[in-house]
Amino acid sequence: MQDLIRRYGVGLTGLMVLLVAFWLLMLVIIPNITLFESSFRPYLPVVEMGGPKDVYSPNNYLKVFDGSVETTILGMTFMVPVHIRTFFLTIWYSVTVTLACFVLAYPVAFYLAKIANPKSVPTLLLLLFVPLWVSEVLRAFAWWIILALKGPLNSLLLSLSLIDKPVRWITDYDAVLIGLVYTYILFMLFPIYNAISSLDTNQIEAAEDLGASRWRIHWRIVLPHSKPGIASGAVMVFMLSAGSLLVPSILGSTTSQWFTQTIQQWMNDALDWNTASAYAFLLLFLCTAFVSLVMWIFRVKLSDIAK
Amino acid sequence: MSAGIDLENVVCDFGDFRAVDHVNVSIKPGEFFSFLGPSGCGKTTILRMISGFTEPTQGIIRIGGQDVRGQRPNQRPTALIFQNLALFPLMTVWENIAFGLEVRGVDKAKRRARADELLRLVDLPGAADKYPSQLSGGQRQRVAIARALAVEPAVMLLDEPLSALDLKLRQHMRAELRAIQKRTGVTFIYITHDQGEALAMSDRVGVMSQGRIQQVADPREIYNNPVNGFVASFVGENNIFDGTVVNPANGMAGYETALGTFRARLGALATGKGVKLFVRPEHTAISLTAAAENSVPVTISEVSFEGSFISIQGKAAGGTTLVAEIRNDGAATVPAIGSAAFMSFDPARAAILPDAETRR
Ligand SMILES: Nc1ncnc2c1ncn2[C@@H]1O[C@H](COP(=O)(O)OP(=O)(O)OP(=O)(O)O)[C@@H](O)[C@H]1O
Ligand SMILES: [Mg+2]
């Protein structure tokens, strides 16, 4: 702060602080507070708002326990409330997306950071970025076309004789997973790439010199070093996947339901913004709790991620 | 346990740049051998070829008589100590040391015991459970040595391991390294651009320039009988005279310069043009009257007292500056600045050598 004032003077510093404060307040804090407040109020006709029925209660939150469906887990059948089922499936598939992103991104990140010729790395990174120039909606639609039953992917696989009849990709959660992995993989790739880049190549060589195999070098040297990068990548991919609405809406099938879609239905179809707010906060809090739990299990600190 | 190393006509090219050029050296088992040369002369490249990180473009490398071409670093009986040590920061000291054993499937209790044993060997007991970041430079050095020794290598390769340490610690670690080498009997190949270090520690030294070996010999030979001007200048100071050889006979020759004709030993390779006369300052005497031969009248221009010796600069005719170093025996008389004197040298202590590096 002192430093800023010395460098830019009181006026400019004041303006900067003001703008940041405005941004935080108007775009982050106030909307969230409004949403949080309304999540505890019942959905009422306009005339009854502020009337005797308009009292705070956790009822909106408790709606997740309504309406049970039969669910089979590990061969056993339970009655599970439908929204809770959606929530757990969202978490489960977001975890799957996160793991898939990690498995795909780690080798690429390692290749870029340690094997590729440093001169060609900027070009490769640029190529990775190119898809981001197209809007997310278009990209999701592109995948919808690619994965269609009579789409390019099936014709390609058929012409290569890798399959003998078209595969139905857009079924259950399959296409959603493919779309989410594609959309968010760079959020995994770059933190890991950064982390591995900062690893001294001599350490890899020292390990090899001491007799370590390729696997052990990764297990004992590269992975532990890149843990913070992996953690921040995983947190981002998980949160973004769980919070994604676009990809599940476009690439979803009749049997797939994402928790964000449920929120959207409360908001757009039921026009009940209060319950929608409650569900949105539920998603936020539970995901945060889940991420914290996983971070605690893997002994990752928040300060590691912020690096 | 320890193995010899033979480099036969080893060449290493990076693109069209030749980093190592037809190097032939035979290093004996249990020897402390140093490669000495200026920055960028290809020392690290040689070490990386021996350890297996770089493949030679041409030539053969043998370790213990066995051709190691095509073997990965983890298959070779060598252990490399990196210039920056490359300790694993996320492992404790003992885990660092035991890493090579962990890789070999030794169980934990045995690894720990061996690590403790090695920590005692390198005189660092009690540091086992610390992390490398909690150690001082010299202590890290010892951990790196212990880590390399843990895999019981036949050959230890050290890439300027002391360059990051301060002078005092460096001198201490020199002796320490030497002692560890003697105790373990492992062949040490040591890389340095510090001539004092190479001369003080090594059984033999290979002096390099621009990818080529200039001379391989024991430290005394390197210092006293350098084969060319590069070696002479790299391992010490010289008074250098420019002139032409006259009347060569029996390994001695006359040398005609603007300051008179001197007599000196004629180096084996000193033929044709581009030869100069090299005399070490400590082999240059100073006197008030002219000596019988090889005597140059000078005017004393600077005297600096260095403690154990006194360095005296004299200006000869034509502006040539000569340096004489005399031992400070407590009674040495030092001529005053501006006074006239003579600097002279023994023909046996002066050498006519090719000025440039020896090319092949
Ligand atoms: N991977 C490489 N690609 C291209 N050139 C290289 C490579 N490695 C080394 N060189 C070049 O080869 C030459 C010798 O390098 P080397 O690292 O062996 O020098 P050095 O004697 O160890 O020097 P220093 O004392 O500075 O460490 C240098 O000119 C360097 O630029
Ligand atoms: Mg080097």
Residue A37 neighbours by CB distance under 10 Å = 12
Residue B146 neighbours by CB distance under 10 Å = 26
Preferred mutation among B72, B99, B157, B158 to probe A, highest tally of A CBs within 10 A: B99
Name the DSSP class of A255: T
Domain boundary among B188, B210, B229: B229
Q: Is residue B92 part of a domain?
A: yes
Residue B281 neighbours by CB distance under 10 Å = 20
Q: Is residue B160 part of a domain?
A: yes
Dihedral of CA atoms A139, A141, A143, A147 in degrees, nearest 10, equals -170
Using a CB-CB distance cutoff of 8 angstroms, which residues of chain B are in contact with residue A206?
A: 80, 82, 86-88
Q: What is the pLDDT of residues B233-262, one digit of tens each?
A: 999 999 999 888 888 888 888 998 888 899
At B310, which helix (H) or strand (E)?
A: strand B309-316
**Phi and psi for A225 in degrees, rounded to 5?**
-65, -35
Q: Is residue B360 part of a domain?
A: no
At A127, which helix (H) or strand (E)?
A: helix A121-129
Q: Is B132 found in the same domain as B114?
A: yes
Preferred mutation among B50, B63, B74 to probe A, highest tally of A CBs within 10 A: B74
Band (pLDDT 50/70/90 cuts) for residue A306 is low
- CA-to-CA separations, B272 to A34, B194, B207, B281, B354, in angstroms, rounded: 94, 32, 23, 26, 9
Q: What is the pLDDT of residues B294-347, one digit of tens each?
A: 999 999 999 998 888 999 999 998 888 999 999 988 877 788 889 999 999 999
Burial state string for A89-110 with b = 16 or more CB within 10 A and e = fewer than 16: bbbebbbebbebbbeebbebbb
Q: Which pair of tokens denotes residue B62?
A: 């043998």
Q: Is B285 found in the same domain as B324?
A: yes
Radius of gyration of chain B measured on its C-alpha atoms: 24
Whether the Cβ atoms of residue B9 and residue B58 lie closer than 8 Å to each other: yes
Using a CB-CB distance cutoff of 8 angstroms, which residues of chain B are in contact with residue A225?
A: 90
Burial state string for A246-271 with b = 16 or more CB within 10 A and e = fewer than 16: bbbbbbbbeebbbbbbbbbebbeeee
Q: What mean pLDDT is predicted for residues A122-131?
A: 89
Percent of chain B surpassing pLDDT 70: 98
Q: Which long-range contacts (CB under 8 A, 24 or more apart) does B111-117 make?
A: B114/B150, B115/B146, B115/B150
Question: Closest residue (by CA) to atom 5 of ligand 1?
Answer: B14
Q: Using CA atoms, how far apart are residues B96 and B145, in angstroms rounded to an integer? A: 11
Using a CB-CB distance cutoff of 8 angstroms, which residues of chain B are in contact with residue A207?
A: 88, 99
Q: What is the pLDDT of residues B60-75, one digit of tens each?
A: 999 999 999 889 998 8
- Chain mean pLDDT for chain A: 89
Q: Is B136 found in the same domain as B45?
A: yes
Residues 6 or more apart from B19 whose CB is under 8 A from it? B12, B13, B42, B45, B211
Q: Is B275 found in the same domain as B202?
A: no
pLDDT of A57 over the 90 cut: no
For residue B298, give the CATH number of its domain.
Answer: 2.40.50.140
**Phi and psi for B131 in degrees, rounded to 5?**
-100, 150
**Phi and psi for B248 in degrees, rounded to 5?**
-70, 135
Band (pLDDT 50/70/90 cuts) for residue B270 is low
Residues 6 or more apart from B353 whose CB is under 8 A from it? B226, B227, B228, B229, B232, B267, B269, B270, B275, B276, B278
CA distance A123 to chain B (A): 22
Name the DSSP class of B156: E
Total number of domains constituting chain B: 2
Q: Using CA atoms, how far apart are residues A304 and B103, in angstroms rounded to an integer? A: 28
Name the DSSP class of A115: I
Q: Is B93 found in the same domain as B125?
A: yes
Q: Is B141 found in the same domain as B21?
A: yes
Domain A67-305 has CATH 1.10.3720.10: yes
Q: Identify the pLDDT of residue A64.
A: 83
Whether the Cβ atoms of residue B222 and residue B205 lie closer than 8 Å to each other: yes
Q: Is residue B285 part of a domain?
A: yes
Q: Using CA atoms, how far apart are residues A217 and A223, in angstroms rounded to an integer? A: 8
Q: Identify the pLDDT of residue B217.
A: 95
- Chain mean pLDDT for chain B: 90
Q: Identify the pLDDT of residue B273.
A: 72
Least confident segment among A171-180, A198-207, B163-172? B163-172
Least confident segment among B43-57, B120-134, B166-180? B166-180
Residues with CB under 6 A from ligand 1: B 14, 17, 19, 37, 39-45, 193
At B79, which helix (H) or strand (E)?
A: strand B78-81
Q: Identify the pLDDT of residue A249.
A: 93
Domain boundary among B229, B245, B279: B229
Q: Identify the pLDDT of residue A239.
A: 93
Single pTM value for the model: 0.82
Q: Which pair of tokens denotes residue B149?
A: 């020794």
Q: Is B143 found in the same domain as B77?
A: yes
Whether the Cβ atoms of residue B164 and residue B137 lie closer than 8 Å to each other: yes
**Domain extent for B209:** 5-229
Using CB atoms, pick whichever of B74, B102, B104 lies closest to residue A209.
B74
At B240, which helix (H) or strand (E)?
A: strand B239-249
Whether the Cβ atoms of residue B253 and residue B295 lie closer than 8 Å to each other: no
Q: What is the pLDDT of residues B111-140, one digit of tens each?
A: 999 999 999 888 888 899 999 999 988 899
For residue B215, give the CATH number of its domain.
Answer: 3.40.50.300
Q: Is residue B359 part of a domain?
A: no
- Supply the angle between the helices A136-146 and A152-159 in degrees, to the nearest 10: 40
Name the DSSP class of A114: I
pLDDT of B1 over the 80 cut: no
What are the residue boundaries of the structural domains of chain A, listed by start? 67-305
Whether the Cβ atoms of residue A229 and residue A194 lie closer than 8 Å to each other: yes
Cβ separation B99–A207 shorter than 8 A:
yes
Q: Identify the pLDDT of residue B143.
A: 94
Q: Which of B340, B344, B339 is CA-nearest to residue B326?
A: B344
Cβ separation B74–A225 shorter than 8 A:
no
Domain boundary among B189, B204, B229: B229
The complex's ipTM works out to 0.80
Establish if B88 touches chain A: CB-CB under 8 angstroms. Answer: yes
Q: Identify the pLDDT of residue B332.
A: 73
Q: Using CA atoms, how far apart are residues A129 and B271, in angstroms rounded to an integer? A: 64
Cβ separation B74–A203 shorter than 8 A:
no
Q: Using CA atoms, how far apart are residues A207 and B156, in angstroms rounded to an integer? A: 15
Whether the Cβ atoms of residue A104 and residue A183 lie closer than 8 Å to each other: no
Max Cα–Cα distance, chain A, nearest Å = 78
Establish if B14 touches chain A: CB-CB under 8 angstroms. Answer: no
- Supply the angle between the helices A174-197 and A136-146 in degrees, to the nearest 10: 120
At B163, which helix (H) or strand (E)?
A: none
Q: Identify the pLDDT of residue B123.
A: 83
CA distance A76 to chain B (A): 43
pLDDT of B360 over the 50 cut: no
- The dihedral built from the CA positions of residue B253, B256, B257 and B259, taken in this order, carries a sign that is positive
Q: Is B209 found in the same domain as B69?
A: yes
Report the separation in Å between the CA atom of B33 and the middle of ligand 2, taken as the mean of its atom positions: 16
Q: Is B247 found in the same domain as B224?
A: no
Provide the number of CB pairs (under 8 Å) joining chain A to chain B: 57
